[in-house]
Amino acid sequence: MIVSVPSGNFGNLTAGIFAKRIGLPVAKFVASTNANDVVPEYLRSGEFHPRAATPTYSNAMDVGNPNNFPRLLDLCRNRLEYVQKEIWGHRATDEETLQEMKAIHDRFGYIADPHTAVGILGWEAYKLEHPEPAQGLVLATAHPAKFADVVRKAIGIAPPLPDRLAAYLKRDKLSLPMSSVYGRFQAIPSCALALAEPVQQKEEEHRYQRIDERRDEEAHIEPRLRLCQKNSPRQGYQSLMSHEENRRQREARRRMLGIQPCSDR
């Protein structure tokens, strides 16, 4: 089996070499890259020349000096011939990526993200140079919804958003200014927790309402119901308290931290 891996920082491909070492039946990996082809270049020339990353449509693979490359070399005993035995390299341009995305959609009705298209181009290039029969597997390493503009450029329509992602986009956006002063930067985790609390207020109110309803239903049971929570790393366990007391504590924390919730404007 030949496995084509869309590659930028080479973490997935390095993991594949590990998997092969413990028994995964792979004959060879294809390092499918975009214009940032320092590893395919190394496989051709035997020289590794890291460089500044070049922006491309498959931008999560825009890495000019992959920090997993030393790990990959170590797995291959730092010898070029051993790396070449495990990996074959290919480089795809942005134009080729767009053309491949359109071809995949026209032929199969499948909406491929640009990373997956680069992987398919790598597998197809390998087949052209190695005509012997082989089974190929291409890793799809991203969702097309993350690249709506690129997908629209390739096939004329935007990909549908997954339900989970669409639900998150409906939520209020929270932001917190970050200072370059180290002492203030250290306070960011606590500030972020305090800033997030208003968003959780409705959920807390619903939880308290359910507790009150349970109390009404179980009036014959000891009415002193306590709820312990582990939600906050700063407060640890806490007993159930009134809405007004919760509100006062939140306001006090915000005044102490000197922050206000930020709107998306």
Task: Strands of 132-231 (E only): list them.
Answer: 136-138
Report the b/e string of 193-229 with b at 16+ CB within 10 A.
Answer: bbbebeeeeeeeeeebeeeeeeeeeeeeeeeeeeeee
Q: What is the pLDDT of residue 179?
A: 76
Q: What is the pLDDT of residue 133?
A: 92
Laid out side by side, the sheet with 87-91 consists of: 87-91, 28-33, 2-6, 136-138
Q: What is the pLDDT of residue 230?
A: 45
CA angle 98, 144, 35 (to 5 degrees): 45
Q: What is the pLDDT of residue 173?
A: 80
Q: Which SS3 state, helix, strand or coil, does residue 240 take?
A: coil
Grouped pLDDT means (10 residues each) for the chain, 265 residues: 97 96 96 98 96 96 97 96 97 98 97 97 97 94 93 96 86 78 73 58 63 61 44 45 61 58 46
Cβ proximity of 30 and 5 under 8 Å: yes
The dotted CATH code for 2-163 is: 3.40.50.1100
Per-residue tokens: 112: 């491929």
d(CA 29, CA 84): 10
d(CA 90, CA 127): 12
Q: What is the pLDDT of residue 245?
A: 64
pTM of the model: 0.67
| No. of helices (H) and no. of strands (E), the chain | 11, 4
Q: Spell out the domain ranges in the chain.
A: 2-163, 182-257
d(CA 36, CA 8): 8
d(CA 13, CA 20): 10
Q: Hey, how many other C-beta atoms are within 10 angstroms of the C-beta on 55?
A: 10
Q: What is the pLDDT of residue 225?
A: 42
